[in-house]
Amino acid sequence: MRKIKITVAILVLFVSLAKSQCISYGVTLGLDAASMKMKYLSTEIRHTSMYAPILSYNINGYASYKSKSFWGVSIEPGYMRKGGAQLFDYYNSSNIKVNFKVIDTYNYLQLPVLFDAYLSKRLYVSAGLEFNYRLSENAKLTDEATWYSSDMNIWQSAGNNRLKNEILPDDNNRFNYSYLLGVQYKLTDKFDVGLRYNMGMKELMSVNWRDSYLYEGEKISVFNTYFQFLVKVKL
Q: Which domains does the chain have, with CATH numbers?
A: 23-234 (2.40.160.20)
Please report the pLDDT score of residue 31 as a whole number.
98
Question: Can you tell me the distance from the alpha carbon of 29 to that of 139, in angstroms, rounded to the nearest whole number?
Answer: 25
Question: Can you tell me the distance from the alpha carbon of 110 to that of 164, in angstroms, rounded to the nearest whole number?
Answer: 29
- Asked if 120 contacts 92 with a C-beta cutoff of 8 angstroms, the reply is no
Q: Cα-flanking dihedrals φ and ψ of residue 19, to 5°? A: -65, -30
Question: Can you tell me the distance from the alpha carbon of 148 to that of 158, in angstroms, rounded to the nearest whole number?
Answer: 23
CA distances from 197 to 64, 130, 162, 176 (A): 19, 11, 30, 16
Q: What is the mean pLDDT of residues 101-110?
A: 90
pLDDT for residue 19 is more than 80: no
Please report the pLDDT score of residue 159 as a whole number.
33
- Asked if 106 contacts 82 with a C-beta cutoff of 8 angstroms, the reply is yes
pLDDT band at 156 (very low <50, low <70, confident <90, very high): very low
Question: Can you tell me the distance from the alpha carbon of 177 to that of 183, in angstroms, rounded to the nearest whole number?
Answer: 20
pLDDT band at 133 (very low <50, low <70, confident <90, very high): very high
pTM score: 0.79
Residue in 39, 79, 75 with CA at minimum distance from that of residue 56: 79
Distance of CA 109 to the CA centre of its chain: 10
